[in-house]
A and B are shown apart, each in its own frame.
Chain A
Amino acid sequence: NAGVTQTPKFRVLKTGQSMTLLCAQDMNHEYMYWYRQDPGMGLRLIHYSVGEGTTAKGEVPDGYNVSRLKKQNFLLGLESAAPSQTSVYFCASRPREVSYEQYFGPGTRLTVT
């Protein structure tokens, strides 16, 4: 199993450009998450999904959109990138069972100039 994979690994955008980050998991997990990690702030939840076709806002959703058309994929979109969105983005997934931990992808480092 590949686990949780993220595409791309690195990206540089200019202010105002758009892009989509792809997260894929092959563990048949129901729940999927997008976080951003900034120095000194830990991980902050952007959006999450508890099943195919469903999404919900997390702690810092502004400026991002998500979609989960297939159970194994969770897409994070930036419609008009801003320098404040420079960060490392992590995707995670988890089974529905309450005691299970989240499994993380390797991250995408995004720089917006």
Chain B
Amino acid sequence: AQSVTQLGSHVSVSEGALVLLRCNYSSSVPPYLFWYVQYPNQGLQLLLKYTSAATLVKGINGFEAEFKKSETSFHLTKPSAHMSDAAEYFCAVSPNFGNEKLTFGTGTRLTIIP
């Protein structure tokens, strides 16, 4: 069984500041991990994914995440926030085999302060 915890349902950062969205997972087998972004009134779009290659994963729009097995974490970061980053972000986990299903976190709404 797997689960995801996203710490902070709402995060606000100033434009140009560091973005840090936290994700911790629980999985009984080696996981695949995903970050998705959802803009208002749209579906989910993949930002990046970890599939057991490099532990530091780079995604679209300047985002990256680091897989830390010892901390069971997969935090999402971006060095400098833009207004266009305002959205809801979801972390998701699946096992690395027989993985028909994803388990999603409850989401973090990111607000950018001008």
Separation of A44 and B105 alpha carbons in the complex (Å): 10
Within the complex, the shortest CB–CB distance from A2 to chain B, in Å, comes to 13
Residues of B within 8 A of A (CB): 9, 32, 34, 36, 41-46, 49, 51, 90, 96-97, 99-102, 104-107
Total contacts A-B at CB 8 Å: 49
**CB nearest to B90 among chain A residues:** A42
Residues of A within 8 A of B (CB): 4, 31, 33, 40-45, 48, 50, 56, 58, 90, 92, 98-99, 101-107
Please tell me if the beta carbons of A99 and B44 are within 8 angstroms of each other in the complex: no
Which residues of chain B are within 8 angstroms of A99 by Cβ–Cβ distance? 32, 49, 51, 96
Which residues of chain A are within 8 angstroms of B49 by Cβ–Cβ distance? 99, 101
Which residues of chain B are within 8 angstroms of A42 by Cβ–Cβ distance? 90, 104-107
